[in-house]
C-alpha cells in the first residue's frame, strides 16, 4: 500500500467541508454534486479497502503510524480491522444517502453540506484512529457539526435538544479524557493496541492498581461513563429521544445510522480490551442496564405518539442488544469460556451495528417523507391509509420496518439471532427477559404501520399523498436492497468479522 | 422422475420467483402475475410428486443436503434440506391444494384492484410454507415459519383499508409472535445444548439418538429433562401458529382476509404448520417418554392442550352466525384433534388427519367463498338460506365436505382419520380424559355443521342477496369438485385395513386390529350429532333472518357467552393488554420523571457546585488578583449571571469532577 488509504478516507470529507466553506459563490447544484461526490468517496475507498482486505488478519491493516507529539508519545495512527471496515462501509452507505435526503432543505445548503461532511469525516476518524489523542480529537470534533446541524435545521425544540445533546455527550467525554489521562500517567502510552496488550499481560494492573483499587476503578468508570452516554446505555439515554426527534431527518439518519455506532465501537475497541477484568467485575449489573435498554426502550417506544421519538427509542432498544451481547460475554469470561457463544454474541453485535444502521436510517427517512408531505406532521394519529395513497412508499417502508423488527430473511434477523444465541449460552435468563423487547418491538412497529399506513385515508393523507418519486428512490431502494441481500447472504458481512471475533472470543480466558 | 434432497430447494424457489415477479408487476399485469403464480405452483407440484417418488423409494431413510450459511467462530452456521415421506407428502398436499385455491382465486379476486399484489403474497406464502416443509434445520424452519407469518399478516390485512382487517392482521402477527418467542428460546436452548440445529446430520443431528439421549439425560429446573423443557418451548410456537388454546384467539379474526386466503392459509396449510413442527421434532418431544421420575412429559402437555382445544373450538362454533367464523372455530377444533393425536403418541394419525382435513376444510372454505361471492359478500347464515337450489355444485360439494368433517362413516376421509385419532387416544396409557373430551367434540362437530348447512342451504332465502344468488363459473366450481373427490378418496389411504399412509410415514407402524366397538361408538355419536342438528334446525327451518336461534331461546346466558367466544378476548384485553400498556407507561414514566428528574437534580447540584467552586476560586485562590481586576470582571459577572441555562451549571460540575479525579489519580494511582 503506497497511497495513504486510511488518511484519504478520513481527510477527503473534512477537506471537502473546508472547500465548501471557501466556495462562497457556488450554485446549489454545484454544492450538491460536489458534496455528494466527496461523501461517496468513503464508499469508494471503503470498497477499495474491502478488495485488498485480508479477513484472516486480526490486527490492523493499511496501517499509517507517524510520530505526532513526540514528547507525549502521541502518534498519528490509523489502522483498519474487520470491525473498522464494517463501520467505514456503513458510513459510506448511510452518509451519501442522508446527504441526498437533505436536498429538500433549501436554506443555506452549502453550510449544511460542509457541516455534514465534517461530521462524516470525524466519524470515520473515530472508526480508524488507534491512538487515543488522535481518536479523541475526532470523537470531540464530531460533536460540533452535529450540534449545529441539529440546532440550525432542527424542529421547534431543536435548540434545547442540541444543547442537551452537546453538553451530555461532552460531559461524558470529559470523564473519558480524564480516564485516559490517568492511563497515560500510569503507562506512558496512548496506543489502544499497546494498552490492550498491557492489560492482557498484567502490566496495566501492576501500574494502575488491581481491579477494585480506587485508581483503577475511577479510570474505568470514567471511560465507561463517557462511552455509556454516547451509545447510549440505559439510563444515560435521556438526551437521545429529543436529539433524534428534533434533528432534521437526514441528520437523524446519520446520528442513528453512524454516530450511535461510535459508542458501541468505543466499548469494543477501548473499554473491553483495556479493562477486561474491571468490565468482568461489573458486567452483571451492566447486563441489567442493557436489558433495561432492550425492554424499557421498546416499551417506551410503544408509548410515543411522535413517530420520530418512537424510532429514536427503537434505536435505544436495538443498540442495547449490542451492549447486552458484550456484557454477557464480559460477565461470562472465566476459566471455562464458552467460546462459541461468545463468538456468536460478538458477531451478532457487529452485524447488528451494521444492520441497525440500514434499517434505522431507512425508517427515519420514511418518517421524514411523511413529515415533508404533510407540512411537518409526524404524530402517529396524523395519518391513515397512506398505503392506499402511496403503495410503493408503503412497501419500501414496510420492508424497513420488518427488517427492524428482526424478520428472518431480512438483515436484522441474523444479528439478533446471533446475539440471542450467544447471550442464551452465557446468561440464559437475560435472553429470556430480552424476549419482551422483541415482543414490544413487534407491537409498536406494527402499530405504527397500522395507524399510519392502513385503514381508510385520514388526516394528512386526505390532502393527497404522492408516492415515492425521483431521488427518493435513490435513498430507499439501495437501503431496502441491502436489507434483502444481507438477510439472505449474511456471509458477506460475517466473513469480514468472523476471524476477528473468533480471536476476541479466544482471548476470553481470565485468571 | 424422482427428486433428490439437493434439488429440493427448487420447490420453494419456484413460487418465490413468482412472488418476485408479482411484486415487480404493475397493477395492470393481472395475467402475468396470476400466470406466474399458477405456473410456478404447478411446477412445484410436479417437483413435489418427484420428491414423493424419491422418498417412497425407501421410506425409512432421511435424505439430507446440508450446506454452510455463514461462518461463526471456529465453525459455520449450517442449513439443510430434508427429504423423507413426511416432507414429500406435505409438499404434495400443499402444492395441490394451493394450486386449486390459486385457480379459484383468479375467479374470486377477479375484480380486486390489487389483484397482482394478491398473487404476489400468495406465492410468497407458498414459497415460505414449502421452505418450512423441506427444511432440515430448525433454524431454516424458523426462518420460513416467520415468513409464513408475514405472508399471513399481509393476506389477512389484504383489504387493509378496512380497519377490522388491519387490526386482525396485527392481532394474528402479535399473538403468533408470542408463541414464536417460546419457539425461539427453545431453538436457542437446543442450539446451545447440542451445538447444532440440523435435524439429521449423519448421526450428529438433533433428532438423532446421540443428541436425544444427551438431552433427555440432563435435568433442569423443576426436575424437568432438558428435552422436555425444549420440547415445551417449541410447543409454544406450535400453539401460536396452530391456533391452540390459549393462543387461539387470532384465528377466527383472521377470517377478515379474502376467503381463498382463509381456505389456503388459515385452514389447510399454515395453521397445520404447528402440527407439522411437532411431528417433525417428534423424536425430541418423545425423548423423555422413557423417563419415569420426571414431573411431566412433553407429549402429555401436547395431548391435553389438543383435547381442550378440540372441545373449546367445537363448543364456540355452535353459537357463531358468521359462515366463515364457524369454519374457523371448526379449524381450531380439528387442529386440536391433531395435537391430541401427537400427544398420545400417534404422530402418523395426526398427519393423516392433517392431510384429509386440508382437503375437506379447503373445500368447505372455498364452498363458503362460493356462497359469499354469489351472495354479494353476505356471510351471516341467518341472512342466507335456500341456496341448495340455485347453487347445486356448491351445495353438493359443501355437503361432502361437511360429511367428511363430521366424520360420516366409511365413504368420507374425515371418518377414517378421526377414527385413527380416537383409537390412539383410547389406547393412551396416561389418562382417558382426552379421549372422552374428543368424543364430546365428535357430537358437537356433527351438530354445528348440520346447523350451518341447514341454515345456509335449506329453507327459504332470507335476504335479497340470498334470493339472487346463482352458481359461480367453472373456474370456481372446478376446484370444488376436485377437492370433493379428494375429500372422499383420501381416506382410503389410511384405513385400518390398508394403512398405506401410516406405513409410509412410519415404517415401524403396526396396524392394530380390533377397535370395531370404538368405531360403532363413534358412528353412533356422529349420528346423534347430525340427528339433533336436524331436529333443531332442519325440521323447522328458520323463517326470518332476525328470529333468535332455538338454542338461544332455551339458554340465553350460555348462548351469549358462546357467542362472545367465552370471553377470551375480553379477558386478554383486561390482563395481557393492560400489563403491556402498564409496562409502556412505566418505561415512559421512568424516562420522564426518574431519569429526567435525576438529570435535573444533577444539574441543580452542578449549579450549586459551580457556585461553590466559583466562590472558592474567587475568594480563596484569586482573592488578591480579583481585588485588582474587579472592575474588569464586573461586566463579565453580570454576563455570566444572565446565563441561566441548566447546562451551564452542569459544565461547571464536569469541571469540578475533572479536578477531583485528577487529584485522586495523582494522589492514588499515579505512582
Cβ contacts of residue B69 below 8 Å, gap of 6+?
A490, A491, B76, B77, B78, B79
A46-103 confidence digits (pLDDT tens) = 999 999 888 888 888 888 888 888 777 888 888 999 999 999 999 999 999 998 888 8
Residue whose C-alpha cell is 370395531 = B516
Q: Which backbone phi and psi does B345 adopt, to 5 degrees?
A: 100, 0
Which residues are paired to B83 by β-bridges?
A: B63
Q: Using CA atoms, how far apart are residues B342 and B348, in angstroms rounded to an integer? A: 8
Q: Inspect the interface and report whether the beta carbons of B174 and A175 lie closer than 8 Å.
A: no
- The values of phi and psi at residue B249, to 5°, are -65, -20
Q: What percentage of chain A carries pLDDT values higher than 70?
A: 98
pLDDT digits (tens, 9 = 90+) for B380-415: 888 887 888 888 889 999 999 999 998 888 888 889
**Residue in A247, A253, A263 with CA at minimum distance from that of residue A320:** A263
Neighbours of A387 (CB within 10 A): 25
Task: Please report the pLDDT score of residue A396 as a whole number.
Answer: 93
Residue recorded with cell 346447523: B451
Q: Cβ contact (<8 Å) for B645 and A163? A: yes
CB < 8 Å to B166, chain A: 450, 454-455
Chain-centre distance for alpha carbon B179: 9
The pLDDT, as a whole number, for residue A334 is 56
- CA distances to A87, A169, A193, A271, B611 from A223, in Å: 21, 12, 16, 7, 27
**pLDDT confidence of residue B652:** 52
Residue A509 confidence class, pLDDT cut points 50, 70, 90: low
The string of DSSP codes covering A406-475 is T-TTSHHHHHHHHHHHHHHHH-HHHHHHHHHHHHHHHHHHHHHHHHHHSSS--GGGGG------THHHHH
A-B contacts at Cβ under 8 angstroms: 215
Q: Does residue A435 contact residue A290 with C-beta atoms inside 8 Å?
A: no
What is the value of pTM for the model shown? 0.89
Is the separation of the CB atoms in B480 and B393 below 8 Å?
yes
H/E element, A476: helix A471-488
Alpha-carbon distances of B101 from A344, A505, B226, B266, rounded to whole Å: 43, 51, 42, 13
Residue B212 φ then ψ, to 5°: -65, -45
pLDDT at position A321: 94
Residue bearing the bigger pLDDT, B292 or B320: B320
H/E segment holding residue B150: helix B138-156
Q: Distance between the two ends of chain B, CA-based, in angstroms?
A: 81
For residue A304, give the chain B residue with the closest CA: B588
Please answer whether residues B412 and B484 qualify as being in contact, where contact means their C-beta atoms are separated by less than 8 angstroms: no
Q: Is A391 exposed, middle or buried (0-12, 13-18, 19+ CB in 10 A)?
A: middle
Task: Kindly give the residue spans of alpha helices, DSSP state H, lying in B109-203.
Answer: 115-134, 138-156, 163-194
| Residue of B588, B647, B665 with shortest CB distance to A163 | B647
The half-sphere exposure of B275 on its side-chain side, counting CA atoms within 13 A, is 38
What the block records as the C-alpha cell of A337 is: 469460556
Q: Do A185 and B189 lie within an 8 Å CB cutoff?
A: no
- Test mutation, A394, A417, A445, A504, chain B, max B CBs within 10 A: A417
Q: State what percent of residues in chain B have pLDDT above 70.
A: 90
Q: What is the CA radius of gyration of chain A?
A: 22
- B634 band by pLDDT with thresholds 50, 70 and 90: very low
Average pLDDT for A231-242: 85
Taking the C-alpha atoms of residue A373 and residue A466, their distance in angstroms, rounded to an integer, is 8
The reply to whether residue A407 touches residue B594, judged by beta carbons under 8 angstroms, is no
Query: For testing the chain B interface, which of A171, A332, A350, A465 should be mutated: the one with the most B CBs within 10 Å?
Result: A171
pLDDT of residue A247: 87
Q: Give the largest CA-CA distance in chain B.
A: 115
Q: Is the pLDDT of residue A486 over 90?
A: yes
pLDDT tens-digit profile of B2-47?
788 888 899 999 999 999 998 888 888 888 888 899 999 999 999 9
C-alpha cell at B401: 365436505
Whole-number pLDDT of residue A188: 82
| B174–A443 C-beta distance less than 8 A | yes
Task: For residue A115, give every residue at least 6 positions away whose Cβ sits within 8 Å of its Cβ, in sequence order, or none.
Answer: A17, A145, A148, A149
ipTM of the complex as predicted = 0.92
Residue-level pLDDT at B631: 43
Inter-chain touch A300–B588, beta carbons under 8 Å: yes
Chain A CB contacts of B184 below 8 Å? 420, 435, 438
Q: Residue A387: is its pLDDT beyond 50?
A: yes
**Within a 10 A sphere around the Cβ of A282, how many other Cβ atoms?**
19
Comparing C-alpha atoms, which of A292, A287, A281 is closest to residue A235? A292
Q: In degrees, to the nearest 5, what angle opens at C-alpha B459 toward C-alphas B457 and B464? A: 80
pLDDT exceeds cutoff 80 at A335: no
Hey, is B628 helix, strand or coil?
Answer: helix
Candidate from A120-134, A274-288, B456-470, B474-488 with smallest mean pLDDT: B456-470
Contact yes or no for A175/A217 (Cβ under 8 A): no
Pick from B274, B331, B269, B282: nearest CA to B127: B269
Q: Which letter, b or e, does each residue of A46-69 get, where b requires 16 or more Cβ atoms within 10 Å of its Cβ?
A: beebeeebebeebebbbebeeeee
Say how many C-beta atoms besides its own lie within 10 A of residue B534's C-beta.
16
Q: Would you call A438 and B142 a contact, using CB atoms and an 8 Å cutoff?
A: no
pLDDT at B671 over 50: no
The values of phi and psi at residue B68, to 5°, are -80, 140
Find the radius of gyration of the CA atoms of chain B.
Answer: 32
pLDDT at B513: 59
- As a whole number of angstroms, the distance between CA A285 and CA A106 comes to 47
Summarize pLDDT for B45-89 with one digit per residue, the tens: 999 999 998 888 888 888 899 999 998 888 889 999 999 999 999
Residue A185 with chain B: CB contacts under 8 Å: 665-666, 669-670
- The H or E element containing residue B155 is helix B138-156
Cell of B462: 332470507
Q: Do A300 and B664 touch (CB under 8 A)?
A: no
- List Cβ neighbours of A491 (8 Å cut-off, separation of 6 or more): B69, B70, B71
B380: DSSP letter: B
Q: What is the pLDDT of residues A341-358, one digit of tens each?
A: 888 999 999 999 999 999
Alpha carbons A310 and A440: distance in angstroms, whole number: 12
Mutate one of B184, B256, B646, B657 to test the A interface: name it (highest A CB count within 10 A).
Answer: B184
- Identify the pLDDT of residue B622: 53
HSE-CB of B102 using CA atoms within 13 angstroms: 29
> CB of A81 within 8 A of CB of A117?
no
Distance CA B134, CA B140 (A): 9
What is the model's pLDDT at position B277? Answer: 95
Q: In angstroms, how far apart are the furthest CA atoms of chain A?
A: 70
Question: Which is it for the CA torsion A411, A413, A415, A416, positive or negative?
Answer: positive
Optimal mutation site among B192, B592, B651, interface A, most CBs of chain A within 10 A: B192
**Which set of grid coordinates corresponds to residue B593?**
420523571
Min Cα–Cα distance to chain B from A489, Å: 7
In chain A, the residue whose alpha carbon lies closest to the alpha carbon of B167 is A450
Mean pLDDT estimate for chain A: 87
A443, B585: Cβ pair inside 8 Å? no
Q: Is residue B192 within 8 Å of residue A341, measured between CB atoms?
A: yes
CA B571 to chain centre: 21
**What mean pLDDT comes out for the span B623-647?**
45
Amino acid at each position: 500500500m503506497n497511497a495513504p488509504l486510511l488518511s484519504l478516507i478520513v481527510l477527503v470529507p473534512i477537506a471537502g467541508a473546508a472547500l465548501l466553506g471557501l466556495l462562497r459563490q457556488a450554485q446549489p447544484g454545484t454544492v450538491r454534486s460536489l458534496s455528494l461526490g466527496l461523501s461517496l468517496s468513503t464508499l469508494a475507498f471503503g470498497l477499495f479497502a474491502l478488495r485488498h482486505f485480508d479477513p484472516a488478519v486480526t490486527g490492523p491493516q493499511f496501517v499509517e503510524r507517524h510520530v505526532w507529539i513526540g514528547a507525549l508519545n502521541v502518534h498519528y495512527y490509523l489502522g483498519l480491522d474487520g470491525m473498522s471496515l464494517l463501520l467505514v462501509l456503513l458510513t459510506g452507505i448511510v452518509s451519501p444517502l442522508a446527504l441526498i435526503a437533505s436536498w429538500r432543505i433549501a436554506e443555506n445548503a452549502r453550510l449544511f453540506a460542509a457541516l455534514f461532511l465534517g461530521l462524516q469525516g470525524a466519524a470515520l476518524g473515530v472508526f480508524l484512529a488507534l491512538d487515543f489523542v488522535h481518536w479523541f480529537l475526532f470523537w470531540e470534533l464530531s460533536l460540533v457539526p452535529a450540534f449545529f446541524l441539529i440546532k440550525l435545521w432542527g424542529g421547534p425544540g431543536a435548540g434545547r435538544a442540541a444543547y442537551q445533546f452537546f453538553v451530555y455527550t461532552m460531559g461524558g467525554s470529559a470523564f473519558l479524557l480524564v480516564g485516559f489521562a490517568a492511563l497515560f500517567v500510569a503507562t506512558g502510552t496512548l496506543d489502544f493496541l499497546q494498552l490492550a496488550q498491557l492489560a492482557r499481560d498484567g502490566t496495566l494492573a501492576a501500574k494502575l492498581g488491581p481491579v477494585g483499587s480506587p485508581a483503577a476503578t475511577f479510570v474505568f468508570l470514567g471511560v465507561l461513563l463517557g462511552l455509556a452516554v454516547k451509545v447510549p446505555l440505559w439510563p444515560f439515554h435521556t438526551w437521545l429521544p429529543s436529539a433524534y426527534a428534533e434533528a432534521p431527518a437526514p441528520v437523524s439518519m446519520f446520528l442513528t445510522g453512524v454516530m450511535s455506532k461510535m459508542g458501541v465501537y468505543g466499548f469494543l475497541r477501548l473499554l473491553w480490551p483495556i479493562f477486561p477484568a474491571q468490565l468482568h467485575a461489573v458486567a452483571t449489573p451492566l447486563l441489567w442496564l442493557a436489558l433495561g435498554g432492550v425492554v424499557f426502550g421498546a416499551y417506551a417506544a410503544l408509548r410515543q405518539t411522535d413517530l420520530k421519538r418512537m424510532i429514536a427509542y427503537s434505536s435505544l432498544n436495538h443498540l442495547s442488544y449490542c451492549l447486552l451481547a458484550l456484557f454477557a460475554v464480559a460477565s461470562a469470561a472465566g476459566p471455562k469460556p464458552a467460546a462459541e457463544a461468545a463468538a456468536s454474541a460478538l458477531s451478532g453485535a457487529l452485524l447488528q451495528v451494521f444492520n441497525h444502521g440500514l434499517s434505522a436510517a431507512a425508517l427515519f427517512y420514511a418518517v421524514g417523507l411523511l413529515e415533508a408531505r404533510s407540512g411537518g406532521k409526524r404524530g402517529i394519529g396524523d395519518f391513515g391509509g397512506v398505503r392506499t395513497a402511496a403503495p410503493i412508499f408503503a412497501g419500501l417502508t414496510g420492508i424497513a420496518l420488518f427488517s427492524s423488527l428482526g424478520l428472518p430473511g431480512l438483515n436484522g434477523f441474523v444479528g439478533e439471532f446471533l446475539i440471542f444465541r450467544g447471550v442464551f449460552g452465557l446468561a440464559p435468563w437475560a435472553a429470556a427477559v430480552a424476549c419482551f423487547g422483541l415482543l414490544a418491538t413487534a407491537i409498536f412497529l406494527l402499530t405504527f404501520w397500522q395507524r399510519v399506513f392502513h385503514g381508510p385515508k385520514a388526516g394528512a393523507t386526505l390532502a393527497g399523498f404522492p408516492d415515492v418519486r425521483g431521488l427518493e428512490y435513490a435513498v430507499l431502494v439501495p437501503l431496502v436492497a441491502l436489507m434483502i441481500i444481507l438477510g439472505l447472504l449474511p456471509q458477506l458481512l460475517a466473513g469480514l468479522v468472523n476471524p476477528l471475533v473468533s480471536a476476541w472470543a479466544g482471548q476470553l480466558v481470565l485468571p | 422422475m424422482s427428486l433428490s434432497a439437493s434439488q429440493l430447494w427448487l420447490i420453494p424457489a419456484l413460487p418465490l420467483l413468482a412472488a418476485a415477479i408479482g411484486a415487480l408487476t404493475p397493477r395492470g399485469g393481472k395475467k402475468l402475475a396470476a400466470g406466474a403464480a399458477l405456473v410456478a405452483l404447478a411446477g412445484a407440484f410436479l417437483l413435489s410428486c418427484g420428491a414423493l417418488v424419491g422418498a417412497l423409494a425407501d421410506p425409512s431413510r432421511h435424505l439430507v443436503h446440508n450446506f454452510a450459511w455463514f461462518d461463526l467462530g471456529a465453525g459455520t452456521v449450517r442449513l439443510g434440506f430434508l427429504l423423507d415421506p413426511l416432507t414429500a407428502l406435505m409438499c404434495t398436499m400443499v402444492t395441490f391444494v394451493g394450486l386449486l385455491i390459486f385457480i379459484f382465486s383468479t375467479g374470486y379476486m377477479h375484480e380486486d384492484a390489487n389483484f397482482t399484489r394478491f398473487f404476489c403474497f400468495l406465492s410468497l406464502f407458498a414459497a415460505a410454507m414449502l421452505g418450512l416443509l423441506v427444511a432440515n434445520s430448525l433454524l431454516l424452519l424458523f426462518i420460513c415459519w416467520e415468513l409464513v407469518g408475514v405472508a399471513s399478516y399481509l393476506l389477512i390485512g389484504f383489504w387493509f383499508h378496512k380497519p377490522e382487517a388491519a387490526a386482525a392482521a396485527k392481532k394474528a402477527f402479535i399473538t403468533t409472535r408470542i408463541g414464536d418467542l417460546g419457539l425461539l428460546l427453545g431453538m436457542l436452548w437446543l442450539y446451545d445444548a447440542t451445538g447444532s440445529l440440523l435435524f439429521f446430520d449423519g448421526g450428529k443431528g438433533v433428532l438423532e439418538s446421540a443428541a436425544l439421549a444427551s438431552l433427555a439425560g440432563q435435568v433442569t429446573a423443576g426436575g424437568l429433562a432438558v428435552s422436555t423443557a425444549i420440547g415445551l418451548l417449541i410447543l409454544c410456537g406450535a400453539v401460536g401458529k396452530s391456533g391452540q388454546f390459549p393462543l387461539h384467539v387470532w384465528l377466527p379474526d383472521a377470517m377478515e382476509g379474502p376467503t381463498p386466503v382463509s381456505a389456503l392459509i388459515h385452514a389447510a396449510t399454515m395453521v397445520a404448520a404447528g402440527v407439522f413442527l411437532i411431528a417433525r421434532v417428534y423424536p425430541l418431544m418423545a425423548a423423555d417418554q422413557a423417563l419415569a421420575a420426571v414431573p411431566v412429559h412433553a407429549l402429555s402437555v401436547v395431548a391435553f392442550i389438543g383435547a381442550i382445544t378440540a372441545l373449546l373450538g367445537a363448543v364456540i362454533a355452535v353459537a357463531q352466525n358468521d359462515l366463515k367464523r364457524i369454519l374457523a372455530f371448526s379449524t381450531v377444533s380439528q387442529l386440536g384433534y391433531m395435537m391430541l393425536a401427537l400427544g398420545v403418541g400417534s404422530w402418523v394419525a395426526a398427519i393423516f388427519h392433517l392431510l384429509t382435513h386440508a382437503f375437506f376444510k379447503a373445500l368447505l372454505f372455498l364452498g363458503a367463498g362460493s356462497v359469499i361471492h354469489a351472495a354479494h359478500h353476505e356471510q351471516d347464515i341467518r341472512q342466507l338460506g335456500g341456496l341448495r337450489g340455485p347453487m347445486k355444485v356448491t351445495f353438493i360439494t359443501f355437503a361432502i365436505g361437511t360429511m367428511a368433517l363430521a366424520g360420516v362413516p366409511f365413504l368420507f376421509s374425515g371418518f377414517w382419520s378421526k377414527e385413527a385419532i380416537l383409537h390412539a387416544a383410547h389406547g393412551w396409557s396416561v389418562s382417558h380424559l382426552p379421549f372422552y373430551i374428543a368424543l364430546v367434540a365428535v357430537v358437537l362437530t356433527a351438530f354445528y355443521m348440520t346447523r350451518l348447512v341447514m341454515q345456509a342451504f335449506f329453507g327459504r332465502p332470507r335476504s335479497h342477496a340470498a334470493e339472487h344468488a346463482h352458481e359461480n363459473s367453472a373456474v370456481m366450481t372446478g376446484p370444488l369438485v376436485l377437492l370433493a373427490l379428494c375429500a372422499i378418496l383420501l381416506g382410503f389411504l389410511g384405513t385400518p385395513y390398508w394403512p398405506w399412509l401410516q406405513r409410509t410415514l412410519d415404517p415401524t407402524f403396526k396396524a392394530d386390529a380390533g377397535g370395531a366397538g370404538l368405531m360403532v361408538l363413534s358412528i353412533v355419536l356422529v349420528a346423534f350429532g347430525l340427528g339433533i342438528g336436524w331436529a333443531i334446525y332442519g325440521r323447522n327451518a328458520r323463517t326470518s333472518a332476525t328470529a333468535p336461534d332455538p338454542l338461544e331461546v332455551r339458554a340465553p346466558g350460555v348462548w351469549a357467552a358462546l357467542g362472545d367466544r367465552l370471553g377470551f378476548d375480553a379477558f386478554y384485553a383486561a390482563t395481557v393488554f393492560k400489563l403491556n400498556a402498564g409496562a409502556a407507561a412505566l418505561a415512559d414514566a421512568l424516562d420522564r420523571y426518574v431519569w429526567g428528574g435525576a438529570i435535573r437534580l444533577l444539574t441543580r447540584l452542578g449549579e450549586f457546585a459551580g457556585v461553590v467552586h466559583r466562590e472558592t476560586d474567587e475568594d480563596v485562590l484569586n482573592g488578591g488578583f480579583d481585588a485588582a481586576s474587579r472592575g474588569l470582571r464586573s461586566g463579565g459577572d453580570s454576563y455570566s449571571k444572565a446565563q441561566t441555562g441548566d447546562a451551564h451549571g452542569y459544565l461547571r460540575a464536569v469541571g469540578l469532577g475533572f479536578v477531583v479525579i485528577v487529584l485522586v489519580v495523582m494522589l492514588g494511582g499515579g505512582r
